[in-house]
Amino acid sequence: GGAGTGKTVTAIHRARFLARQLDSQEAAMKVLFTTFTKNLARTIESQLKQLAGPKVLDRVDVVNIDALARRVVTASDAGRIAVANTKFVSSDSSEVRELWSSAALVATGTWDATFLADEWSQVVLGNAIVDEAGYLRVPRSGRSQRLSRPQRADVWKVIEQFESLMRSQGVMTFTQLASQAASTLLSDTTLRDQLGYRHVVVDEAQDLHP
């Protein structure tokens, strides 16, 4: 639906309904209500309390996606140490754009920094690609520019250099954090249970990373 059609209001009513369905056998379970920004999360939490009363927050956890990703990653000792020593930046920050420009110098061809950033975010992180072999065979659905196998290999060199520069400077994007959290949840069933979410409601899903 377009703006003003009631998507968020519908989601808030849905969260209240789901919270009421959690019976006594699922006393420890919650509904996760997540969205793109902290400001949206605060607004939704306020509206949910107005609709259902403050006790509803015992059953509905309203948190923006970056905070949720940080919560997942820092659930382990190694994750806490890594996050404590990392500076988080947005993917479109000037700092990140400069690193892409520097990384592109290792390429044989000429690649636009915006293209590289989108390729890394949407294709590499979006598909949990960790090596060149994975990148060479992954489908690139929705990407406007087709790449030959040699071109993919060239782009991968740039991506490796970019990630190396990020690590050396102790910098991580929030998209990387989300990707790391997703990988953690896929491999750690115990952590999934500890989070205690029975249902998930997502607002502004179009703004979230795959």
Q: Is 55 exposed, middle or buried (0-12, 13-18, 19+ CB in 10 A)?
A: exposed
Q: What percent of the chain has pLDDT over 70?
A: 98
- Average of per-residue pLDDT across 183-208: 89
Q: Express each pLDDT in 52-103 by its tens digit.
A: 999 999 999 999 999 999 999 998 888 888 888 899 998 889 999 999 999 9
pLDDT digits (tens, 9 = 90+) for 151-164: 999 999 999 999 99
Across the range 125-150, mean pLDDT stands at: 94
3-state secondary structure the chain: CCCCCCHHHHHHHHHHHHHHHCCHHHCCCEEEEEECCHHHHHHHHHHHHHHHCHHHHHCEEEEEHHHHHHHHHCCCHHHHHHHHCCEEECCCCHHHHHHHHHHHHHCCCCCCHHHHHHHHHHHHHCCCCCCHHHHHHCCCCCCCCCCCHHHHHHHHHHHHHHHHHHHHCCEEEHHHHHHHHHHHHHHCHHHHHHHCEEEEEECCHHHCCC
Rounded percentage of the chain residues whose pLDDT exceeds 90: 73
Greater pLDDT, 147 or 141:
147
For residue 24, pLDDT beyond 80? no
Give the residue with greater pLDDT, 184 vs 210: 184
pLDDT at 46 over 70: yes
Mean pLDDT of the chain: 92
pTM score: 0.83
